[in-house]
Structure 1
Amino acid sequence: MLRAEQFIRAFPGRRLAELEPDDISGYLARKGQISTLQAWQFRQTIDAIQNLYSIVNAEWAAPPDWDFWRDSARTLEAQHATTAREVAPVTPEDYAGRIGDTRFAPLIHKHLEVFVRLASGIRTRGMSIRTEKTYLGWVCRFLQHFDGRAPDDLGAREVANFLEHLVVNRNVAASTQNQALNALVFLYDKVLEQPLGDLGAFRRSRRPKRLPVVLSRNEVNRLLAELGGMQWLIASLLYGTGMRLMEALRLRVQDLEFDRGLIVVRRGKGDKDRIVPLPESLADPLARHLKEVRALHQRDLDAGFGEALLPDALARKYPGAPREWRWQFVFPSGRLSRDPRSESTRRHHLHETAVQKAVVAAARRAGIAKKASCHTLRHSFATHLLESGYDIRTVQELLGHSDVRTTQIYTHVLNRGGLAVRSPLDTG
């Protein structure tokens, strides 16, 4: 009741039925500028307003995008891959927070110099923040397994022992064991400059051959039909371009080149840039969407905000750039976030979990009996291009794969299989 009363009082002398969707969006945008507002309070506000209008039965041609505002309740946390990549950890608590397990803080404190050198080595080589988090975590688990001993006192024998322990006692997947191996090889080779050499024989996790889940064109259409607003636009872009979810969410306004019909994907996996096609059918929806985003940005500027997080410390070189329109995220959150480190208040992109949950729920509503996710749309993009006769090298470039063998897996999930074999039952 309190949230509903606050909304009504915000429009004195006006009846609820007279308000337009823009009035509601403007109100929620103002609420979103209060960075101290908790996520549950923001969601309560949205639910209260939506409940009010379910009673009023207002007739709108295009109602507010309730899902977008509700998705915006969760802002990017300090250790999120987008925000954390711009700030290096300093204290043991920073490192433990980066890993996501505060129990490692005493261990990191004991070997802080090693972790400082490890993080520095990862960053100077342009490796991703997710790789940094993963490698830091595995080094912590490795040292903890040997009672916190210094890595200089350990070597190839202990590494092999730890890797075998992961398989025998933890029953980890092959990819998990390989992650641990890569992290420890990097530590000893690049940081400590004590190459491990031959690790000898140790038990490896078997790597099962798994085919990616791919939707048919009909299933993709059914899934997209269950989405609306910004969620539909993002999911359509994932299928229409083959981008990864985080690549889409990190798009800036300047990355959309409507005249040339392309999208520039910057700092993708492996810190590589690439170009993907801007689907013609999405040009108009994207243009309309950007008009709404620009109005949101103007509200921020009028209120004294309007900053976006810039990559590579560009904000120090160009202090006015964070407020420029071209640097704003294409898919911004409906809420502002206050950076606990710099105290700056910025508008980040939408949290990825909102889109992930929406796509899974849409697949369920569409009656798709497959484990569909955002990445499934990327798999479907690649498979459908190969079905249409596009060259595998072209598909490899669009997906951003370093090795064509990664792309070749999609030849095994085409309509007639990798060998184009026709069942004898169909040949008579």
Structure 2
Amino acid sequence: MPAAQCELVLKPRLLDQVRDCLRRRHYSLRTEKVYVGWIRRFILFHGKRHPADMGPEQVDAFLSHLARHEKVAASTQNQALSSLLFLYRHVLSAPLPWLDNLERAKRPARLPTVLTETEVRRVLGALEGSRWLMASLLYGAGLRLLECLGLRVKDVAFERRQLVIRDAKGGRDRITVLPDSLSGPLQDHLARVRTLHEQDLRGGFGRVALPYALERKYPRAGLQWAWQFVFPSGRVCTSPYTGQQVRHHAHPKTLQRAISQAARTAQILRPVTPHTFRHSFATHLLESGTDIRTVQVLLGHKDVATTMIYTHVMKQPGIGVRSPLDR
């Protein structure tokens, strides 16, 4: 059989197996797209050979190509390696000894970009509407971008001044603070979202995607107000899991582009992303005297060593070192 015809036979079946395996293990749709993309690139790099016919030499060659010729970052190279390890271990069921001997690229230690409180106000001042509210939650509650977009109505506890973050990084839940200054604007925003939800219901829509098997266990839960996203998308789309028409949360690029433009408007020369607000949240809490264990819990870090990185960028007026130029 010619290679082109062989590809038509093997490629769809293999990638479908990868998708099925990822979904059985409750990986996110975002991770699924990334893993499938890397596996496809690996196959194409080696002339459309089936991964079952390849081994450590081919994996090393692919990873080396990424580092030497495509100049990818260490984190990107490790992402590609994780995709291939998943393929061989869980899809092809190939417990080969060489899988455990593959070394991951070492990520260089990078200090996070942190804004001053004045710079945060300038960037937020260049935003408006729901984008301002989302960016304010990123900074005010220390949220990751997808944690903010994935908030559901039931996860906002106004009386307790808390946000419940579900299924965050590592599959863990946590509770973080809801800023008092955002309570009013957030309630006004939810009132507008509820109006949109009621319009959807009258139009025969109003359903939202539910995590895991809740869609089968509670068929009508996806229509309830409590399960709706706090920041819904402007359009209805088709769920890749159920095929139903649902209103998903806002697209990440919507806020990413808005924050990037706001930073330029505020004349911030450093690159500013949604995650910059999370870095700034942690650093400013430490500078104000909050103990590092509390900051670790609010951020949802598994290890306090991860939180310690912010001690290297916080302002420390009592550090005891004075530049010789100042003398």
- Place the TM-score, normalised by the shorter chain, in its bin: 0.7 to 0.9
Q: Which range is displaced more, 105-114 or 241-250?
A: 105-114
Matches within 5 A, 1:236-255: 236-255=136-155
The aligned residue for residue 49 of structure 1 is none
Structure 1 CA distance, aligned partners of 2:184 and 2:222?
A: 26
Aligned residue among 306, 312, 326 for 1:412: 312
Structure 2 CA distance, aligned partners of 1:106 and 1:223?
A: 53
The aligned residue for residue 116 of structure 2 is 216
Note the C-alpha offset of 1:155. Answer: 1.1
Structure 2 CA distance, aligned partners of 1:366 and 1:274?
A: 33
- Going from structure 1 to structure 2, the CA distance change for 1:402 and 1:108 (only over 3 Å counts) comes to farther
Residue 383 in 1 paired to residue 274 in 2?
no
Structure 1 CA distance, aligned partners of 2:100 and 2:213?
A: 44
SS at match of 1:276: strand
Residue 335 in 1 paired to residue 231 in 2?
no
Structure 2 CA distance, aligned partners of 1:340 and 1:246?
A: 18
Residues 149, 252 of structure 2: 8 Å contact kept: yes
Aligned residue among 329, 334, 357 for 2:257: 357
**Structure 1-normalised TM-score?**
0.69
Note the C-alpha offset of 1:336. Answer: 3.1
The aligned residue for residue 228 of structure 1 is 128
CA deviations over 1:223-269 (Å, ceiling 9, x no partner): 11111111111110000111111111111110001111111111222
Residue 301 in 1 paired to residue 198 in 2?
no
Pairwise CA RMSD: 2.9
The aligned residue for residue 323 of structure 2 is 424
Question: Which stretches in structure 2 are left out of the alignment for 5+ residues?
Answer: none
1:384 is matched by which residue type in structure 2?
H
Note the C-alpha offset of 1:202. Answer: 9.0
2:286 is matched by which residue type in structure 1?
L
2:206 is matched by which residue type in structure 1?
G
1:225 is matched by which residue type in structure 2?
G
2:162 is matched by which residue type in structure 1?
L
Residues 108, 140 of structure 1: 8 Å contact kept: no
User: What percent identity do the matched residue pairs reach?
Assistant: 50
Structure 1 CA distance, aligned partners of 2:213 and 2:103?
A: 44
1:179 is matched by which residue type in structure 2?
Q
Structure 2 CA distance, aligned partners of 1:145 and 1:214?
A: 39
SS at match of 2:171: coil
1:301 is matched by which residue type in structure 2?
L
CA deviations over 1:258-309 (Å, ceiling 9, x no partner): 1111111112222221111111111111111111212222222233332222
Residue 178 in 1 paired to residue 78 in 2?
yes
Matches within 5 A, 1:47-62: none
CA deviations over 1:24-47 (Å, ceiling 9, x no partner): xxxxxxxxxxxxxxxxxxxxxxxx
Note the C-alpha offset of 1:156. Answer: 1.6
* Pairs aligned (count): 324
The aligned residue for residue 153 of structure 1 is 53
Note the C-alpha offset of 1:424. Answer: 3.4
Question: Of the two, which has the highest radius of gyration?
Answer: 1
- Going from structure 1 to structure 2, the CA distance change for 1:168 and 1:109 (only over 3 Å counts) comes to same
1:252 is matched by which residue type in structure 2?
R
Structure 2 CA distance, aligned partners of 1:384 and 1:316?
A: 44
Structure 2 CA distance, aligned partners of 1:202 and 1:335?
A: 44
- Going from structure 1 to structure 2, the CA distance change for 1:122 and 1:201 (only over 3 Å counts) comes to closer
Residue 268 in 1 paired to residue 145 in 2?
no
- Going from structure 1 to structure 2, the CA distance change for 1:185 and 1:315 (only over 3 Å counts) comes to closer
1:153 is matched by which residue type in structure 2?
D
Residues 138, 278 of structure 2: 8 Å contact kept: yes
SS at match of 2:194: helix
The aligned residue for residue 165 of structure 1 is 65
Question: Which stretches in structure 1 are left out of the alignment for 5+ residues?
Answer: 1-103
Aligned residue among 292, 297, 319 for 2:192: 292
CA deviations over 1:53-90 (Å, ceiling 9, x no partner): xxxxxxxxxxxxxxxxxxxxxxxxxxxxxxxxxxxxxx
Aligned residue among 22, 31, 45 for 1:122: 22
Matches within 5 A, 1:315-330: 315-330=215-230
Residues 167, 203 of structure 1: 8 Å contact kept: no
Structure 1 CA distance, aligned partners of 2:40 and 2:193?
A: 42
SS at match of 1:149: coil
1:292 is matched by which residue type in structure 2?
R
Structure 1 CA distance, aligned partners of 2:272 and 2:11?
A: 42
SS at match of 1:363: helix
Note the C-alpha offset of 1:333. Answer: 2.8
Note the C-alpha offset of 1:162. Answer: 1.9
Structure 2 CA distance, aligned partners of 1:193 and 1:421?
A: 58
